[in-house]
Structure 1
Amino acid sequence: MVFRRNGACRWSGLGGLVASFLLALVTGYAAGPAGAAGEDRATLSDVLPQVTLTRDGITAQLSMAYPESNATMKAPKLEISVGGKRVVELFGEASGWETPQGTVGFYEMDPTNDTPEIVFTSYSGGAHCCTQVYVMSTNASGAWESIDFGMYDGEGGEFSDIDGDGLIEMSTYDNAFLYAFDCYACSTAPMMILTARGGRRTDITREARFEKAHRARLVSMNAGLNAARTEFSPGFFAGWVAQKALLGEGYDAWETMKSAYRGYRDEGFESCPTDKPNCSERERGTYPFPAALTVFLKEQGYL
């Protein structure tokens, strides 16, 4: 990758400050803020150990039950019925706590079908991990499918209408950046924007319509820039450089990082060489932060 001031060569990526979410397991895990498209959602708790939502003839029931694979720990169980016929049965993650946990909600995400999507989240437990996200959607033949959206740090993500087009997107963070160059609390991570299309998880992070959201995230990240310059923070700069790159400001971000890096006592990071980012284990070595960051951004698809 060549850095150019004229913007002819741009990086892709986006970024955001990573907040550590502490889940209130006593009252149940709450989903992120609702979007503007009128979706319905519910959360399990001690008061509501079972919830049922109905929309457009589709019923989604969420409760706690023992999976066949684990007779010692209950996990959230989602059952979806259409016209009285069960079309989906899926277990989420067991947290290891007795408290009911999990969320279910109707969201309009995929304009290619005529049914709403159903989002099912469950929390695995732990200080910084992890929320499993599934999206139920109908495919081209009308059959219901479970789409594994992945495991994400903290609360997992927020479902909202980011660009105001009446459809819901999931915004989250690229968890690969957490702990990559520094401690969890010292790290920032690029934002990811996901949706469901045709029965698949689709990454729409880099679509131009989300530039306003990316710019807002950069503004929030910039609040930590002076501190990261004063006491060089590799964990901060990894995510910040990726965010700036999304907005066509990769060159300036790299120059700012290099200026702050001068004088940093760099003990090096384990990495592949820059000319061979996908190297074998025996080819890996210890490299200065700028070189290791270059390889990392290539590996993660930001360069």
Structure 2
Amino acid sequence: MHRSNIWFARLRGLLPLGLCGVLLATVASTAAPAATKVGVDDQRDPAPVQPLASALVFDRFEHIKPRSMELKFTDVSVQVEVAEHQPCPTRGILMDDEGEGLSPGQGQFCTVATLVAQAPNHPAFRQVIASLLTGDNGALDTLHLALYQMEAGDGPPQLLLFGYTGGAHCCTVSALVGADRTGAWHVSALPPQDGDGVSGVVDIKHDNGRELIFQDERFNYRFESYVWSVKPIVIYEYTQGQLRNVTTQAVYRPFLRAYFRHDFAPNNMSGFDHGAVNGFLAAYVANSANLGQLQAGWQFMLRHYNRKTDNTGVVWCALDKSAWSRAGQEDCPAPYVRTVPYPQQLALFLLQTGYITHAQCVALGYDPEKIRQTQEQVIARTTARWKAAHP
């Protein structure tokens, strides 16, 4: 097994939410560590932030049946209503009809959890969370909730909900529910994560801040199989009902450098089986870009990437589709299949996912428009020759 993402696994283990399943949870200690400047070589882990209150609504694996419950903190009330034999919803805070937490079809019945939140000077908030898997139907195997004060000031706290969808290598879905200064409620979906559980809220800089750290699951399967895929981390802040990706902000660079040195030391590549190093290198370059060191990361990748294998299946066809059927093929005929080189795949993927800009992609030697034009020219020439040979 590879050694990458060890730090993130340790972070998850470091931050249990301590969800207790009581019907009413009261204030937890929220004393934060004294503000300390984090230096370039600071090796401290992010400090876990304890929830103000937390509860476990349902856990199928621990045989904890769904139950309605309430969390209170000062004058804020959060209730989860659980109702059996309800029409299965197709959408909810932790589910939708196009992504994780897909529910059973219409006409079926489920146990449904609904969130009701109330805060002074705010309208009541009510929305379905998800269906719970209590029999044959349901979207979630578990459901947890925790209150956090994500923003400075005396506004109402935010509610973190998360649950496990089950499935191979999958998935915890989560969301933050909070209100802005105008009193409007917002639901902010968080990125789905592998496994059961989230890393929780942390104070990265040890300055009484509140951040969320996630792995970028878009790197899963993209350049290697699941077991050899490596994912960079993404840092979020929550402000006025909105999540902001703050990974590249200068204040987080000391933390990113420490993480990078730990998880992406060159000797970590030695643990990769059968040369399956390209997944590691993809995350290496992404993290380098986040640190403002794209060129150094790119040169490291060029020296070490595996040129002999391609597990991505990213190809293009040098023959126009209009000729496929005439050639007796439903897909691109094998002689005309062209594999996209790994560095080109990586550059375009990092552009697509926002790790690099268009100008940076061009500087690496991969201009998307020129690549498209070149492919179109090749297809036109090849197809013309093929049609001339097959009148």
In structure 2, the partner of 1:8 is none
In structure 1, the partner of 2:211 is 169
CA deviation digits over 1:150-186, x for unaligned, max 9? 4333334432122223232111011111111111121
Q: 1:42 to 1:34 in 2, by over 3 A?
A: farther
Q: How big is the shift at 1:34?
A: 8.2
Hey, what's the Cα distance between the residues in 2 that align with 1:89 and 1:100?
22
Q: 1:261 to 1:36 in 2, by over 3 A?
A: closer
Q: Which has the higher contact order (CA 8 A, sep 6+)?
A: 1
1:102/1:123 contact within 8 Å kept: yes
Matched residue type, 2:278:
P
In structure 1, the partner of 2:259 is 217
Q: SS of the residue aligned with 1:44?
A: strand
Which is greater in Rg?
Answer: 2
In structure 2, the partner of 1:81 is 118
Q: SS of the residue aligned with 1:189?
A: coil
Which aligned pairs between 1:156-195 and structure 2 lie closer than 5 A? Answer: 156-195=198-237
In structure 2, the partner of 1:59 is 77
1:130/1:152 contact within 8 Å kept: yes
Q: SS of the residue aligned with 1:225?
A: helix
Matched residue type, 1:259:
R
Q: How big is the shift at 1:91?
A: 2.7
1:115/1:138 contact within 8 Å kept: yes
In structure 2, the partner of 1:240 is 284
Which aligned pairs between 1:282-301 and structure 2 lie closer than 5 A? Answer: 286-301=339-354
Which aligned pairs between 1:96-107 and structure 2 lie closer than 5 A? Answer: 96-97=133-134, 101-107=142-148
2:20/2:55 contact within 8 Å kept: no
2:87/2:110 contact within 8 Å kept: no
Q: SS of the residue aligned with 2:314?
A: strand
In structure 1, the partner of 2:192 is 151
Q: SS of the residue aligned with 2:79?
A: strand
CA deviation digits over 1:104-136, x for unaligned, max 9? 111111237722111111222213222222211
1:160/1:168 contact within 8 Å kept: yes
Hey, what's the Cα distance between the residues in 2 that align with 1:62 and 1:108?
19
CA deviation digits over 1:23-57, x for unaligned, max 9? xxxx999xxx9833663222234177344211121
Q: SS of the residue aligned with 1:179?
A: coil
Hey, what's the Cα distance between the residues in 2 that align with 1:226 and 1:184?
18
> Which of residues 163, 183, 201 in structure 2 aligns to 1:142?
183
In structure 2, the partner of 1:91 is 128
Hey, what's the Cα distance between the residues in 2 that align with 1:165 and 1:115?
21
Q: SS of the residue aligned with 1:102?
A: strand
Deviates more, 1:290-299 or 1:88-97: 88-97
Alignment length (residue pairs): 273
CA deviation digits over 1:205-243, x for unaligned, max 9? 211222233123221243632334982421111112211
The TM-score normalised by the length of structure 2 is: 0.59
Matched residue type, 1:288:
P
In structure 2, the partner of 1:11 is none
Hey, what's the Cα distance between the residues in 1 that align with 2:315 and 2:152?
42
Deviates more, 1:99-108 or 1:237-246: 99-108
> Which of residues 32, 52, 57 in structure 2 aligns to 1:44?
57
In structure 2, the partner of 1:111 is 152
Amino-acid identity (%)? 23
Deviates more, 1:110-119 or 1:191-200: 110-119
Q: 1:146 to 1:187 in 2, by over 3 A?
A: same
Hey, what's the Cα distance between the residues in 1 that align with 2:142 and 2:306?
48
Matched residue type, 2:250:
A
1:163/1:210 contact within 8 Å kept: yes
Unaligned runs of 5+ in 2: 13-18, 22-45, 59-63, 90-107, 317-331, 357-391
Hey, what's the Cα distance between the residues in 2 that align with 1:240 and 1:261?
11
- Do residues 35 (structure 1) and 48 (structure 2) align? yes
